[in-house]
Structure 1
Amino acid sequence: MGYMNTASTGGGGREPRWLTEDEQRVWRAYLHATTLLEDHLDRQLQRDAGMPHIYYGLLVQLSQAPRRRKRMTELAIDAKITRSRLSHAIARLEKNGWVRREDCPSDKRGQNAVLTDDGFKILERSAPGHVEAVRQAMFDRLTPEQVGKLGEIMKIMAEGLQPQDSGADLPWLR
Structure 2
Amino acid sequence: MAQYELLLPKMGESVAEATVIKWIKQPGDKVELDDTILEIATDKVDSEVPSPVAGTLVRHLYREDEVVQVGSIIAIIDTEDIDEPTEVPFVNQIKEEDILELNAPAITEELPTAQDSLESESSHRFYSPLVKNIANQENISLPELEGLKGTGADGRLTKDDLLSYISNKPSKDSPKPLV
Give TM-score scaled by structure 1 length.
Answer: 0.17
Q: Which protein is richer in strand relative to its size?
A: 2
Higher relative contact order (CA 8 A, sep 6+): 1
Select the structure that is richer in helix: 1
Q: Give the TM-score of the pair, scaled to structure 2.
A: 0.17
Larger Rg: 1 or 2?
2
